[in-house]
Amino acid sequence: MGRKGAGRRERPGIQSVEIASRILAAMAEAGQPLQLKDAARGCGMSAAKVHRYLVSLTRTNLVAQDGDGRYSIGPAAIALGLAGLRSLDVVRIASDSLIELRDRSGETAVLATWSNAGPIIIRIEESSRPVFMNVRVGSTLPILRTAVGRIFAAYLPRQDTAALLQRERRSNSRTGTRKNLPSAAEILATTRRHGIAVVGGDLVPGVTALAAPVFDHRARIVASMALLGGPEHLTASPTSAAAALLKTMSEAASWRLGYRLAGRTGRAAGVGGGAGLR
């Protein structure tokens, strides 16, 4: 038998990036500042070649060089590593809560994070109850027409959401959707007041959505947990039993992420995404 994967066309990549990653990996594995010759030995390349890469890596702060000429992992690489750790913590902790939320509510549970394009679905735990969804993992959601979107707009700093909100408002005006919506300021104020966002059959007819925020140790919103279900099982109310359960589970996830300012989420998180919008 041939080698597994034999005959498959290898996807093209950028060799210089792969070489740079080898150098960074060797430095990380060493766990201490390295002289050029030691860094070269660690990644199995010539010192001259490694030096050229180290010059560029130092310019981009991925590598730092001390007064003795030794090289170590730089501040940019450290920041990337910390960001990755924070992301893993959020996904892991919130995902554990998501499964419990689905099991206790009997409804489909969804986890979303924020991206430059808006809220993005990163996990879905489907219930045994059939519910039509036009979203999947990787889907980017509208802001004002989805419960998850409203949560992020309510708790993110205004500058993070302003451009997307304006673009969405223009789109809603062109399609006539805006006629069916309260003002953005009203929507977000109501969301902050309850700590829950509710959408009943707006984006998807026959589907109710409830969403709540998840905060980290700096009181910043890092995710949103949501429930999706049919109106016969999931009431479109921020004071329903399902909303109370959702809030409890999202607060538990926030607590595990180090959040300790319960009752002050709006001020602590520096919210204001919809202020001044109509």
- The domains located in the chain, with CATH, are 15-73 (1.10.10.10), 85-268 (3.30.450.40)
> What is the DSSP secondary structure assignment for residue 34, as one 8-state letter?
B
Q: Which residues pair with 34 in a beta bridge?
A: 71
Q: Tens digit of pLDDT per residue, the chain (278 long)? A: 444 444 446 677 788 999 999 999 888 877 788 999 999 999 999 999 999 999 999 999 999 999 889 999 888 888 887 676 666 678 888 888 899 999 999 999 999 999 888 899 989 998 887 766 677 888 889 898 899 999 999 999 999 998 888 888 777 676 665 555 678 888 899 999 999 999 986 666 678 999 999 999 889 999 999 999 988 889 889 999 999 999 999 999 999 888 875 444 443 344 454 433 33
User: What predicted TM-score, i.e. pTM, was given to this entire model?
Assistant: 0.63
Distance, in Å, from the CA atom of 77 to the CA atom of 61, rounded to the nearest integer, reads 7
Alpha helices by DSSP H, the chain:
15-30, 36-43, 47-59, 75-105, 147-155, 158-175, 184-194, 241-256, 265-268
- The answer to whether 22 and 43 are in contact (CB under 8 A) is yes
